[in-house]
Amino acid sequence: MSGCKLVATLIESKGKYKKVTKENIIDKGMYQRLVGKMMYLSQTRLDIVFFVSLVSQYMHNLLEQHLEAMYRILHYLKKTPGTRLLFKKNEERGVETFTNAEWVGSIEDRRSTTGYCTKVWGNLVTWRSKKQPAVARNSVEAELRALAQ
């Protein structure tokens, strides 16, 4: 991947994936190893966490579009080598928590995605992105479920 084209974003704006069929199935082993390496890397690269979780949903039944999405993550990583998680000494002595929800984020099951992060003294210490267990009827309900979590 040393001569690959660099990209500024992790996923295309219309990057919604559909259920896969049995046509054009690619090497699962190679894809699973690559996803595992990306999961390990995502411990210090929070900018790729959501996208790695997105492509990991298709580890056992994947198509070329999923491998292309993984390659796009690699292209992004090559363009942004200095981005990482950083803990620094800070005079700010507070705890902040941010939460958000994407209403109907998944085309397949219509469930919303919840995400949150917590900062202690200005340093990011916890984060999570997860599909909500039930289908929300509107964006307000999705936001309230995210806040409750």
Residue 44 near residue 15, CB atoms below 8 Å: no
CA angle 106, 28, 132 (to 5 degrees): 20
Q: 54 in helix, strand or coil?
A: helix
- Of 71, 61, 59, 60, nearest in space to 15 by CA: 71
Q: Which residue has the tokens 């202690």?
A: 120
pLDDT category of residue 23 using cuts at 50, 70 and 90: low
d(CA 80, CA 6): 9
Instruction: Tell me the average pLDDT across 95-105.
Output: 78
pLDDT for the residue 11: 65
3 has a pLDDT exceeding 70 = yes
Q: How far is CA 95 from CA 1, 42, 59, 85, in A?
A: 40, 23, 36, 18
pLDDT category of residue 55 using cuts at 50, 70 and 90: confident
1 has a pLDDT exceeding 60 = yes
